[in-house]
Amino acid sequence: MSTVMNKNLTQEIIESFSADTYTEANDLRKQAIGYLETLGLPTNKSEEYRFTPITKHLEKNFKWENKNPQSSINSIDDYLIPELDANILVFINGSFSQKFSKIISPKDQLSIKTLAEAFQSESTTISSYFDKVGRSQNDPFAAMNSAFWQEGVCINIPDKTIVEKPIFLLHINDTTLSQVIAHTRLLLIIGQQSEASIIEKFETTGGEASFHTFIEEILVSESASLNYYKIQNDKGAVCQVTNSAIQQLSGSKVSAFTLTLNGQLIRNNFSITIDGEHCESHFNGLYLLKGKTLVDNHTVVDHKKPNSQSNELYKGIMDGNSKGVFNGKIFVRPHAQKTNAFQSNRNILICDDATINTKPQLEIWADDVKCSHGCTTGQLDEEALFYLQSRGISKQSAQAMLLYAFAADVVATIPHGSIKNYFDLLISERLQKNF
């Protein structure tokens, strides 16, 4: 793919969106367009997108002058998580759906506003936090989102507040009538000593192409705690780039879990900045792929302050022609002494045509730290398989048992019953563990 073509596509995208009129964040949008122009869309030579041909995919599948269709979805029941009692925020084709959204937590536990509203009534929050920890300057798709975002939510949780009901963010792209391009955002501020759980779920229906960028900026204040779950189970041919930037202040705790099962081309840029002492970050990823799905998880944990620990475990099972990409960066800055940082990426390839590219990247400037990383790629253990079969268990069930054992151990750590069950259900279904 030539650089000239990329330039053209970048320009084409910029021009198609510039025709829209935006009412908020016009200066930031202009700035972001500048970043996008400078960065350009990635080519196969771009180090960060070497294995993930998003630009090519965009070129081939989208008409940028088209507007998103109206969705005719009249129920979201199929997309809900069974028995999960949650605050539900729904986006359809990039627009916030008042009709399907539902807030059940009391007002003193949290404030939820659309970004459009927040720009009107919460200018302090916006000016302090909006587009501050995102990565618009570094990532062309983050820049694209910052330039052209359609809608988003701003969630503010005051200090010393335990939000009992999880916040469920549901993105649906309905491509029944035509292609959909959606750019959405989340700004989540968790006050000191507060606790919250967020679940993000992405769905596409219909047969046409969909392209979705999502930026989330999350601040976890002093001694606050966040449980975070992302479920990417798009049945349609979605191309998606998510940029997650979580910032942790002293004594805070984050547990994150990203489960990816379906979609065409998925790129997750997931970064945690540890900007305080005595923080804990656990982040798990599980990608169980088949068909032609490509999933690229780029993670960053940046230890800026001493005495914190991070623990990263990403696991993948690749079947069919699927491709997995994992890149895990750990930075330990000069002041961040006594950091404990662990990273592990483990993969099983079921099929000869499936591939994984995995790369750990550790940059450690402090000297008194404990860091380790490891990655393994293998097949199913033949001896274990035989043992199970020798007891009368079919090969298919034996395989499912072993894959499930490999995949599901991280699920056991999920504290919410209904979320745990749902993860378990999705994983069992994918691995055909039906016994």
Which residues of the chain form contacts with another protein (CB under 8 A)?
381-384, 386-395, 397-398, 401-402, 404-406, 408-409, 435
Q: How far is the CB of 353 from another protein (least distance, A)?
A: 22
User: Residues 115, 257, 271, 149: is their CA dihedral positive or negative?
Assistant: negative
Other CB atoms within 10 Å distance of the CB of residue 144: 26
Strands 370-378 and 340-349: parallel
Q: How far is the CB of 280 from another protein (least distance, A)?
A: 25
Q: Report CA 7 to chain centroid distance, whole Å.
A: 27
Phi, then psi, of 283 in degrees rounded to 5? -135, 125
Q: Give yes or no for a contact between 114 and 153, defined as CB atoms under 8 angstroms apart.
A: yes
Q: How far is the CB of 285 from another protein (least distance, A)?
A: 18
Q: How far is the CB of 387 from another protein (least distance, A)?
A: 5
Nearer to another protein, 8 or 379 (CB): 379
Residue showing tokens 């450690």: 364
C-alpha 316/C-alpha 114 separation (Å) is: 35
Q: Report CA 365 to chain centroid distance, whole Å.
A: 28
Nearer to another protein, 110 or 410 (CB): 410
Q: Give yes or no for a contact between 179 and 146, defined as CB atoms under 8 angstroms apart.
A: no
Nearer to another protein, 88 or 317 (CB): 317
Element spanning 258, H or E: strand 253-262
In eight-state DSSP terms, residue 80 is S
Q: How far is the CB of 20 from another protein (least distance, A)?
A: 51
Q: Which residues contact 260 (CB under 8 A, 6 or more apart)?
A: 232, 233, 266, 268, 285, 286, 287, 288, 289, 295, 297
In eight-state DSSP terms, residue 221 is -
Q: How far is the CB of 400 from another protein (least distance, A)?
A: 10
Nearer to another protein, 365 or 387 (CB): 387
Nearer to another protein, 366 or 393 (CB): 393
Nearer to another protein, 104 or 384 (CB): 384
In eight-state DSSP terms, residue 173 is E
Q: Report CA 429 to chain centroid distance, whole Å.
A: 21
Classify residue 216 as left (phi > 0), alpha (psi -120 to 50) or beta: beta
Q: How far is the CB of 375 from another protein (least distance, A)?
A: 18
Q: How far is the CB of 398 from another protein (least distance, A)?
A: 8
Rg of the chain over all Cα atoms, to the nearest angstrom: 21
Q: How far is the CB of 380 from another protein (least distance, A)?
A: 11
Q: How far is the CB of 289 from another protein (least distance, A)?
A: 20
* CA nearest to 261, candidates 425, 94, 71: 425
* CA nearest to 346, candidates 400, 265, 291, 407: 407
Nearer to another protein, 168 or 406 (CB): 406
Nearer to another protein, 369 or 401 (CB): 401
Nearer to another protein, 222 or 424 (CB): 424
* CA nearest to 90, candidates 174, 176, 179, 211: 174
Nearer to another protein, 202 or 406 (CB): 406
Q: Give yes or no for a contact between 297 and 263, defined as CB atoms under 8 angstroms apart.
A: no
C-alpha 294/C-alpha 165 separation (Å) is: 33
